[in-house]
Amino acid sequence: TLSRAAALRALADALPDGPVRARLDAAAQAHLAAGMPAVERGDFTTDHWLATFAALALDPVARP
C-alpha cells in the first residue's frame, strides 16, 4: 500500500494540473492513510521496509 502511494504520487507529480492528477493525488492519499498504521505496529519483520516506503510516499524530494 505504501509503495503504491509513492508510485501514485510520482505519477501525479509528472502530470500537469487537472482531473487525472487530482485523482492520482487522492488515490495516493488513500493508500498512504491505509498503510501508515502498519508502520507503527512495531513488527520487526516489516518495520524496516515499511518505513522506507512511507518516506518515499511522504517526501517529494525522494520521488523521481
5-59 tens-digit pLDDT: 989 999 999 999 999 999 999 999 999 999 888 877 777 666 667 777 787 787 7
Task: Say if 23 falls within a structural domain.
Answer: yes
The secondary structure of the chain in percent helix, strand, coil, rounded to multiples of 5, reads 75, 0, 25
How many Å apart are CA 59 and CA 9, to the nearest integer?
A: 10
Task: Say if 36 falls within a structural domain.
Answer: yes
Query: The whole model's pTM is what?
Result: 0.73
How many Å apart are CA 42 and CA 26, to the nearest integer?
A: 27
Task: Say if 49 falls within a structural domain.
Answer: yes
Q: Which one has a higher pLDDT value, 53 or 64?
A: 53
What's the structural domain count of the chain? Answer: 1
pLDDT at 23: 98
Task: Say if 63 falls within a structural domain.
Answer: no
The domain of 30 spans 2-58
Q: Which one has a higher pLDDT value, 33 or 64?
A: 33
